[in-house]
Structure 1
Amino acid sequence: MFDFGKDGPFTTKVVRFKSGERFAMAVDGHGMPVDWPVVYASVSLRARGLMLSTMRKEMDAVCLLLNWCTVRGIPLEHRIESLTLFSLAEIEALRIAFRADLRTARKRASGDKSKDLPEIVGNGHWRNRLQACADYLVWRVNDIILRLDIRDPRRFEARLMVDKLHEWIVGDIPVYENDLLEGLNEEQREILVRAITVGDPSNPFKPRNQVRNEALWLLYIDGGLRRSEPLVIKTRDVRLGGNDPGLTVHRNADDPKDTRAQQPVTKTKAHPVEFTDRLHDALDAYIVGDRRTYENAKTSPFLFLSQQGKPLSIGAVDAMSLELRKVPGLPADFSTHVNRRTWNDKLGEAAEEIKITPEVEKQVRNHAMGWTRQSDQGTRYSRRRIRKRAAMILDVMQDKLTRGEAE
């Protein structure tokens, strides 16, 4: 292992305040907060209202910078204060170091000799790390510039350096979006619904949890929810009876009642979920009958509980996804998000069937997904539908060309 000296290695620590707010900060090898990174997290990252996961990734990149400088013997604070920072050779070395897969490095250090462990991270992860590193350095250098006398000749050169830092550190890293990701086809949808149905032979879950899991997974299938969203729903958010049955997914950042180490959070605005008949029946069976058999059911405000009576965790949902991947006919990369794409496919098909305009369809989709009114996110979730339309257009073109040749 590297010799980080008396202050390293630097790591990210998440603390939870009494208000419920979670805060990510850098700590040294003794668990003590590191001054400047903590100030940066407080006045820059926190002020931007970042999600905890994003804030943590930003701090991870800062810690990676601190560790890299420590190992190489680079006095980072002195370099920043003197406005010298790095040579081009050092920047290139930093870029290479930021591409390493740290999980593999930790496994190698613990004696894992597996040959199939990834040595580097993907381009998107790599670019985000470098971007976060450059953001921190720009913030630090700007602080130095503000403290310089206005007549100090170094101000001009420092401004030029700030303008170039992102270009030098991040560079031009191509990141390609996977345009082949689609929702489930009709056959796969039927297989999934059977696999989560209580008592079905293909259901991979323990009988004890099948009622709960059917209600949970129908929120992904029929509600199009993100992975974390069902986990933040509270019993008071659900309306099973009356003239307007449904539920609402609320924004939940810094919920003081949520004590989970990895707090599930919503990324979108508060939005409603309309019930299909099967979703209503599944939730009714769980809430009215099954939920009361879980420990802490009377005192916990959260809808979905673990067998220990705690709010269901993200890890538990990920474990369910792994179990469902074993069901014959479902994709090897099956996840909750596949259902979100499937839901958007179904919405598009229904919109075409009742012949509503594309603009109205967009507004309905954005409202149901919790996106802003003018969001174009829906195009990312409709690839199967777009591919089908393209195939239909090509068929018509081919038919016209063939008839033209015949004439």
Structure 2
Amino acid sequence: MVSVKRFIGSSGERFAVLIDSEGIPLTYPNLYTTINFRNRGHSVNTIVSVLEDIELLYYLLNKLQINIEQRIKEKLFLQLHEIEALVNLANFKRNYLLNKKTDRKIVSFPEKRREAVRAKIVIKNDNVSKNLIYRRLTNFADYLHWLETYLCKASATNTAKIMKARRPRKTIDHSADYKSFEQDQINLILETIDPSNQKNIWSSDFLNYRNELIIYLLLYLGCRKGELLNIKLSDFVQSNGSFYLNIKRNHDDDSDTRLYQPLVKTRSRGLALNLNLKKKIDQYILNYRSHIANAESSDFLLISNQATPLSINALDKIFTQISSRFQFRVHAHAFRHTWNDKFTDKVQPLIDSGRLTEDKAENDRAYLMGWIPGSQSARRYAKRAEDRRAIEVGLGIQNKFEENDE
């Protein structure tokens, strides 16, 4: 059984390899990711994602009794029914395919009538999203094409082309997963996490003030989880009487001891802090963070009780604990959506009055969010504002008809 292993190099670089059951790295998958991803500067999370799909590919090939490397060396490339079998199996959840935490057992392939059995595989409630199927088949196809080219340079096959042609269409409508908080929900969250609340979620002042600061940073700045967890004390600066936070890209930061390093995916930028947020930051640092043993050894703003940088899992646990108090889910990215809604509400009157152009407003949004101007992410939020305006116009037309009836 193969698996993905992460590690931190002596230089601080995060990397991952695919290893066999004895812990020995597999030659071709790791050579592939080194050449095509590591050497091109891709993040460790991207490399892990690719390796996990290749791991799944090898598992499925093993189930189908296909030694892909030997087959390619012998120029016995995958046949159409074998490609179809891989495409079919790529639709299913990993836990199902790996026979973990499922009510059903992994489909076994008898020696006889193997192709007939493959065509009749039916699994209920174990399918994955179309986007994940698309990603898997893309990584399957790209790796197989590279492997065929590397092991058998003189041969040209259609394996990758056939497999990619069977990918589902990617889902591009993001309206269903866009969820921001309503104002009454924000009020409930802030009231619940207030350290002066008699029904505190957490047991210590340090946790209460740290976790309150987490919510305010996400709400006021609209930052991502990776950006939040990488804020350092040295990132705060003062200039001309104003206070700023510098968000920095941090790949392979050798001062970060976390194996699963939170990454800053967006562009570096400086964000201004209002007095209320600055007061909360100072209060946490001076009165609570400073009381943690060895806190001075870490430059990270958000730390654990052991003075280690707060992990992604620990942050997710905080949101699970907060969510348990409500009938709605509280998660980090919803604050980013909420910030963008507030930004739209702020700039729309300026646009309507002619004091600000839509292009300038969207460039400002892109800067504050860390996007490249004109990016698809920025366009997504702009489209949401356009949709809201269209809905308001539609309601206005309906009301106009009622006024005429009267």
* TM-score past 0.5 threshold: yes
Matches of 1:121 and 1:162, distance apart in 2 = 23
Determine if the alignment matches structure 1 residue 342 to structure 2 residue 357: no
Q: Which residue of 1 aligns with 2:146?
A: 139
Distance 2:52 2:376 in 1: 31
On the 8 A contact 2:137/2:164 being kept in 1, the answer is no
Q: 1:203 to 1:380 in 2, by over 3 A?
A: farther
Q: Residue 152 of structure 1 corresponds to which residue in structure 2?
A: none
Contact kept? 1:183, 1:339, Cα under 8 Å: yes
Q: Identity of counterpart residues, as a percentage?
A: 27
Equivalences for residues 238-257 of structure 1 within 5 A = 238-239=236-237, 243-257=241-255
- Structure 2 partner of 1:37: 29
Amino acid in the other structure paired with 1:350: K
Q: 3-state DSSP class of the match of 2:5?
A: strand
* Stretch moving more, 75-84 or 181-190: 75-84
Number of the residue aligned with 2:110: none
> Residue 48 of structure 1: CA displacement?
3.1
Q: 2:136 matched to which residue of 1?
A: 129
Cα offset for 1:188? 1.0
* Partner of residue 107, structure 1: 100
- SS at structure 1 position matched to 2:225: coil
Question: Deviation string for 1:283-340 (max 9, x for gaps)?
Answer: 01012221111222111111111001110000111001111112235x23x2100000
Letter in 2 for 1:137: L
Q: Hey, what does 1:6 align to over in structure 2? A: none
Q: What is residue 263 of structure 1 aligned with on the other side?
A: 261
> Does the C-alpha gap of structure 1 residues 59 and 33 become closer, same or farther in structure 2, counting only changes over 3 Å?
same
Distance 1:305 1:240 in 2: 23
2:44 aligned with 1:48: no
CA distance in structure 2 between the aligned counterparts of 1:90 and 1:311, rounded to whole angstroms = 47
SS at match of 1:222: helix
Residue 206 (structure 1) aligns with? 203
By how many angstroms is 1:124 displaced? 1.6
Root mean square deviation, CA, Å: 2.6
Q: What is the CA–CA distance in structure 2 between the aligned matches of 1:144 and 1:319, rounded to whole Å? A: 46
Aligned pairs for 1:5-44 (under 5 A) are 9-44=1-36
Taking the aligned partners of 2:197 and 2:125, their CA distance within structure 1 comes to 38
Displacement after TM superposition at 1:96 (Å): 2.5
Q: Return the offset for 1:107.
A: 3.3
Question: Cα distance 1:126–1:22, how it changes in 2: closer, same or farther (>3 A)?
Answer: same
What is the letter of the counterpart of residue 230 of structure 1? L
Deviations 1:74-109 (A, max 9, x none): 120122234432122111211232233223545348
Residue 107 of structure 1 aligns to a residue whose secondary structure is: coil
Alpha-carbon distance in structure 2 between the residues aligned to 1:195 and 1:228: 24
CA distance in 1, matches of 2:395, 2:65: 65
- Verify: 1:392 aligned to 2:385, yes or no: no
Q: Distance in 1 between matches of 2:184 and 2:384?
A: 14
Q: CA deviation at 1:165?
A: 3.9
The residue number in structure 2 matching 1:276 is: 274
User: What is the number of residues matched between the two proteins?
Assistant: 381
SS of corresponding position for 2:270 = strand
Residues 199-234 of structure 1 show CA distances to partners (whole Å, capped at 9, x for unaligned) of 224542333311111112211110101112111111
Q: What's the counterpart of residue 119 of structure 2?
A: none
Q: 1:17 to 1:307 in 2, by over 3 A?
A: same
> Where does the alignment leave 5 or more consecutive residues of structure 2 unmatched?
106-123
Q: Kindly provide the amino acid, as one letter, of the partner of residue 313 in structure 2.
A: G
Alignment equivalent of 1:312, drawn from 286, 310, 319: 310
Whether the aligned pair in 1 keeps the contact of 2:134 and 2:169 (CA below 8 Å) is yes
In structure 2, which of residues 164, 167, 170 is the aligned counterpart of residue 171 of structure 1?
167
SS at match of 1:184: coil
Counterpart code for 1:359: D
- Please report how far the alpha carbon of residue 58 of structure 1 lies from its aligned counterpart in structure 2 after TM superposition: 0.3
Give the Å deviation of 1:62: 0.9
Counterpart position of 1:77: 69
Unaligned runs of 5+ in 1: 1-8, 149-154
| 1:182 and 1:381 in contact (8 A); partners too | no
Q: 1:404 to 1:201 in 2, by over 3 A?
A: same
Tell me the SS of whatever aligns to 1:344.
helix
For residues 316 and 17 of structure 2, the distance between their equivalents in structure 1, rounded to whole angstroms, comes to 26
- Secondary structure, aligned partner of 1:354: helix
Q: 2:369 — aligned with what?
A: 369
Structure 1 residues 50, 202: closer, same or farther in 2, change over 3 A?
A: farther
- Determine the C-alpha separation between the residues in 2 that align with 1:213 and 1:143: 51
Is the alpha carbon distance of 1:381 and 1:230 closer, same or farther for their aligned partners in structure 2, counting shifts above 3 Å?
A: same
Counterparts in 2 of 1:263 and 1:67: CA distance versus 1, 3 Å: same
Say which SS state the counterpart of residue 16 (structure 2) adopts.
strand
| Matching of residue 188 in structure 1 with residue 159 in structure 2 | no
CA separation in 1, counterparts of 2:186 and 2:384? Answer: 14
Deviations 1:13-51 (A, max 9, x none): 112111111112111111101111111011111133222
Which of 178, 194, 197 matches 2:194? 197
Change over 3 Å in CA distance of 1:165–1:24 after alignment to 2: farther
